[in-house]
Structure formats: C-alpha cells, structure tokens
Structure 1
Amino acid sequence: MRRRFLPLLAAFACLLGGQASAQNWPSRPIRIVVTFPPGGSSDIVARVLADALGPKLHARVVVDNRPGAGGTLAAQHVAAQPADGYTLMLSNTAPVVTSPPLYRAPGYDPMTSFTHISYLGSTPMVVVTNLSVPATDMAGLMAWMRAQPAPVTYGTSGIGSVGHVVGTMFTAQTGIQLNHAPYRGSQPMQADILGGSILLSFDTLPENVENIRANRLRPYAVTSPARQPSVPDVPTTAEAGLPSLVALNWLGLSGPARIPTAIVDRLHAETAEILQTPAFQERLATVGIVSGQMSQPDFVTFVQNQVNTVGATVRSMGITND
C-alpha cells in the first residue's frame, strides 16, 4: 500500500515545490536571451524591456546575446533551460518561424518547446543600397540589377532570417536572380554595405534608420502595409510596385515550456503595463519598431498561425541552411 502512494506523494511534492517557487519568484537575476548580436532590433527591444522590467519585478534583468544559425542556437539553449522563469528569450520570426523549416532537426519545436508569454511589436524589412548604386527608386533599382553582368549580391543577417526570406520572395516575384550573402547578424553586414563590399541588403528597419537619416544608405521601400513614422519618406513595397512583397519581423517574450502559470501571468501583466507607457512606445518607434499588445492566449495562437502559414511558405521556397 505504501509503495502505491509513493508516486502520488512525489507528484504532490513537485506541485507544491512549483507553487512555492512561483511565489518566491524572482529571487535572483533574470536573463533575456537574444538570438542575434548586439545592435539589432531584437537586442534593442530586449534592452529597453530589461531596463523597464527590472524595477517592476524588483530584480536584475540582464540581456544575453547568443547569435548563430538564424537564431536557432539561442532557441536551443533556452528550450533546454529549467522552466523557472529565470531564462527568457526575445522571440522573433527567425528562430520561431523561418529558421526551423531549414533544418532536419533544429533541436526544438516552435510551439511545444516554449512558453510564449507576450507579444511586443513588429518591424518591417527595408531595401537599401550603398550610395554608389545610381538608381533612385525601386523601378530604377530593378533596371540596374537586370543590367548587371552577374547576379547582384545582397546581404542579410543570416540564413533563415526574415531578410533572407524577403530576398527569396523578391527573386520569385520579379524574376531577378540575386546572390545571397548571409552574415552573422546585421552589424557586420552594415560595415560591408557602407564600405561597398556588398551593394544591396534586405534588413530589418531598426538597424538602418540612423544610416538612412544620415544619408549613408539609400532606401527604396519598407515591406510593411503602411509607411513607417521613423522614415516617413520611404515608400512601401506596394507603393514601389511590389504589392506582394510584404513581411514583418514580430518580436515577443518567450521562455522554456511549462513555466508556472503564476510566473507567466506576472510577466505578461508587467509587460503589458510597460507596453502602454508612451516612453516605451516612443523609444521603439524612433528606431522603426511598432509596439503592440495581445493577450497571452492570443499570442500563442498568433505564433501557431505564423508557424503554420509563414513556415509553410519558407518550405515551399526551397530555402536551405547550406
């Protein structure tokens, strides 16, 4: 009889332990793992969020950049951590939606390996070139591409990034062949396009706002349905003649699977308050990120829909991690 009750007692003890852990949380620093190097849109949002979240939780919140393999290395790391609320991830389109289809075994499942906590916002891609490119609008840029003796090389922040997907979409929609140059994040790519080693990139807007405003890079279009307040003079892809070239990189807060509900609810509530503050909204808008809000269940549904639709599109494009 005693043996029969031992598994029940163990399960009950684990439940009580989880409740106690949630009640005492947080009692030590919290990490937000960023899937790309410092300076990118995910990194910008993670640092602004960490600064605002720390005082609300009465805990230190630190940012941990773990770039590589289209965000999958960081996602693998987070998925393997204890579900105690001390390791979180600045989730985004690449590691959750566009990168997993490129690998036979990415090491995690976009849904079952994570607890998706809060939607934070989104940002479009922007098509930019080095100033040596003579074209001044998208029609001229495509004419210039077609006139080149070899496919033009375009840079992105990595294989499986949203920029890579947009570059592949651009080729499919225009018939213009391009050569993809994946980088380990946007910062090294920015150095090369500014220096002229590559002449074209499809990249998230926040990494390019400063260079566009300073007239160091020439923008042609943003891949959003509407113009962006941070660069109001840059047309949308629809305005530039490519109405189907629409893509947004969403940003969210996630963690390992099975984080206690009490911790998830607390994180979502505190994040929701931060998202409503004008200071947070303005900081993100300044660099081209439009903040937004969803309930936690709606965010889970949103991510599942992205995995089902955008993930299927990536698979149909035949993009690989080679």
Structure 2
Amino acid sequence: MRRRHLPLLAATAAFGLSRAAQAQNGWPSRTVRIVVTFPPGGSSDIVARVLSDIWSQRLPQRVVVDNRPGAGGTLGAGHVATQPADGYTLLLSNTAPIVTSPPIYPNAGYDPVTSFTHIAYLGATPLVIMVNPRRVPASVTDLAGLIAWAKAESAPPAYGSSGAGSVHHIFGEQLMARTGVRLTHVPYRGSSPMLADLLGGAIPIGFDTLPQNIENIRSGRLRAIAVTSPQRQAMAPEVPTTADAGFPGLLAENWLGLSAPAGLPAPIVAKLHAEVTAALAMPPVAKRWEELGIAVRPMTQPEFAAYVAEEVKTVGGAVKALGITAS
C-alpha cells in the first residue's frame, strides 16, 4: 500500500509548512492516529492511508491508521468519541458510523453531531449493484431485469453489504421499499469479506463502491447492474444508472470526511482543515481520488459540520422511518 503512494510522498515537498515550523506550533508532539471504522482494503482505509503517508512527511510526527471495524462502524466511532479532544485521535468519518448506523445501533454511545468536531469533507462515491455471473442469468443486465429475476426466485436472493447500518445496507432496504422486491440481507465486517463471498458465489448480489470493483467488472468476474449516481460514471460508461432502469431518485453515495472528538481546539481544527485542503490540491492526490471515483466539492469547516448535521437529519431520519434493525 505504501509503495503505491510513493509519488504522493514526493509531491509533499512543494506544499505547506516545514516540519520545524509545524513543531513550533505545539501540535503534534507525538503520533497521531486516524481511526478507520472498517477493515483494511475498503475506500475509507485507502483514503486514510493516503492522508497518513502525506501527513507523516508534512508533520513533525508520524500519522498512523488504526482499523477498528464492527457494528456498522459504531465501534470505531464510539472509541474516538471517548478520546481526549487533543488532535491525536482522528476519525475517518463516513456515511455509516455518522448517518446510517446510529439509528440502527441506538446504544452506540455517541451522538453523531454533538460527540464530534467535524473537520473536513474528503469527497463521496456512488455505489454499484453487482452480481456473480455464475449465480445470476446472463440475461439480467440492468436493475429492472434484476428485480424481475429476484421476484421470480422461490426464495429471496441474498445481497451482501459491508455491515448492518452501512450505506450499502440502507440502499438495499430502500431498493426493496421502492420496488417491492424481497432480498435477504447478509452483513459482513467490511467490503473485503463481502466481495470474497460475492466472487466465490456464496451470495449472488453485492453493493459496494464502483472503483474498488472496476477490475473485477472489467474482467467479467462480476457483472455491474447499475450505479446509484444521477449520471453514468466515466470509468464504466456502459453501466446504466438506476434512473436508466426507471427508478429516478433511487440514489446513494458514501461520503468521507475527517472528524475528531467534540471540543477540539480551534487552532488544531484550522490546521487540520488546512492540511486536508493542501492534500486535496496535490495533483497525485487528485489523480488517486479520480481513480477511486471520489468526487470532491470545496467546503469550509462550518459548511462540513452543517452538511453532516443535515445528513443526520434527512438520511438518518429516513433510516429510522424504515425501521431497520441491526440483525
């Protein structure tokens, strides 16, 4: 993983403050952790490791990734919420632990808005609906066809997600509510184990981010049915959207951000937001984000905090209305 990011490390020399200048400001004076709420290999983990590599070069101390998966991301997020607000424990926040999982895990032990300082927006990716071509007939090439096939099966086909409460899980519930199809949810502890079972044929359907699966799609090991964005994606223009199949508004994205425990001092908030802005401006990072299918729009720190609060209100409220449980 670090070898893939070597060009990013070389690019850091042209940006930002020197280690000596950073050290004069007091933070950081020891190792900084970025907690990822899913196992290694997924988009959150990849993004965290890009930032870790860059910041370990730019800052006077190392920045390491700490994977703490489980319970739809709430275990890792709950851990961060209990840590001192000193800038040494950060959260690679995303839709699951902040928006969709708290209504499903009401005893998670944190409030997704008030328990954190939401620092910076890192971007968002749409999902792709995929099937194992050995389990689903070749005639099924779009969402309408998948729904018709699933309805004709004697038992509800299984779909895999990265965990109960993940955006993948919520999209599956919304798909069923919108179309009347019945599917059986199989939650995993992250995307990687779900994909292993999807590729192996243990489950016929899976939802995940598109870039992480593009090679399997191009090789024919998986068949892409639809993307959950309003428009087709440049890396796979042949894959129809959910709207192409007659379901406009059936959309989903997984946003990524950087957060910390509530009460993080304003100077550290400002410094971290500036570090994110500098990293996203680096051409190698922009290229890596493009490869990952991550779309970025500029946000100030207050704008990102407001965005999170709105997501919790609207999307989180919709999750509550669906009555989804962690089972």
Provide the TM-score with structure 1 as the length reference: 0.91
Q: How does 1:117-266 map to 2 (within 5 A)?
A: 117-132=119-134, 133-134=136-137, 135-266=140-271
Deviations 1:152-183 (A, max 9, x none): 11000010000110000110111011111011
Q: RMSD value over aligned CA atoms?
A: 1.4
CA offset at residue 47 of structure 1?
Answer: 0.8
CA offset at residue 22 of structure 1?
Answer: 9.6
Give distance in 2, aligned partners of 1:265 and 1:284.
23
Partner of 2:92: 90
SS at match of 1:100: coil
Partner of 1:40: 42
Partner of 2:57: 55
Give distance in 2, aligned partners of 1:98 and 1:122.
15
Deviations 1:265-321 (A, max 9, x none): 001011101112221121122122223321000000000000000010000001011
Kindly indicate whether the alpha-carbon contact (under 8 Å) linking 2:130 and 2:223 is maintained by their aligned counterparts in 1: yes
1:69 matched to 2:74? The reply is no
Deviations 1:209-263 (A, max 9, x none): 2211222100011111222223222122112222121011100000111111101
CA offset at residue 205 of structure 1?
Answer: 2.3
Give distance in 1, aligned partners of 2:121 and 2:297.
7
SS at match of 1:82: coil
Kindly indicate whether the alpha-carbon contact (under 8 Å) linking 2:142 and 2:240 is maintained by their aligned counterparts in 1: no
Kindly indicate whether the alpha-carbon contact (under 8 Å) linking 2:116 and 2:263 is maintained by their aligned counterparts in 1: yes
SS at match of 2:154: coil
SS at match of 1:91: strand
**Letter of the aligned partner of 1:218 in structure 2?**
R
Give distance in 2, aligned partners of 1:206 and 1:313.
27
CA offset at residue 34 of structure 1?
Answer: 0.2
Q: Structure 1 stretch 44-53 or stretch 28-37: which is displaced more? A: 44-53
Partner of 2:13: none
SS at match of 1:102: coil
Give distance in 2, aligned partners of 1:46 and 1:254.
12
Give distance in 1, aligned partners of 2:235 and 2:295.
10
Give distance in 1, aligned partners of 2:318 and 2:251.
13
Give distance in 1, aligned partners of 2:49 and 2:126.
20
Q: How does 1:103-122 map to 2 (within 5 A)?
A: 103-122=105-124
**Letter of the aligned partner of 2:37 in structure 1?**
T
Q: Which runs of 4+ in 1 moved over 3 A?
A: none
**Letter of the aligned partner of 1:199 in structure 2?**
P
SS at match of 1:239: coil
Give distance in 1, aligned partners of 2:71 and 2:245.
32
Partner of 1:287: 292
Number of aligned residue pairs: give it: 302
Q: Percent identity?
A: 61
Q: Structure 1 stretch 71-80 or stretch 287-296: which is displaced more? A: 287-296
**Letter of the aligned partner of 1:302 in structure 2?**
Y
**Letter of the aligned partner of 1:231 in structure 2?**
A
Partner of 2:6: none
Give distance in 1, aligned partners of 2:90 and 2:99.
18
Give distance in 2, aligned partners of 1:78 and 1:104.
17
Kindly indicate whether the alpha-carbon contact (under 8 Å) linking 1:121 and 1:293 is maintained by their aligned counterparts in 2: no
Kindly indicate whether the alpha-carbon contact (under 8 Å) linking 1:121 and 1:289 is maintained by their aligned counterparts in 2: yes
1:315 matched to 2:320? The reply is yes
Give distance in 2, aligned partners of 1:272 and 1:229.
25
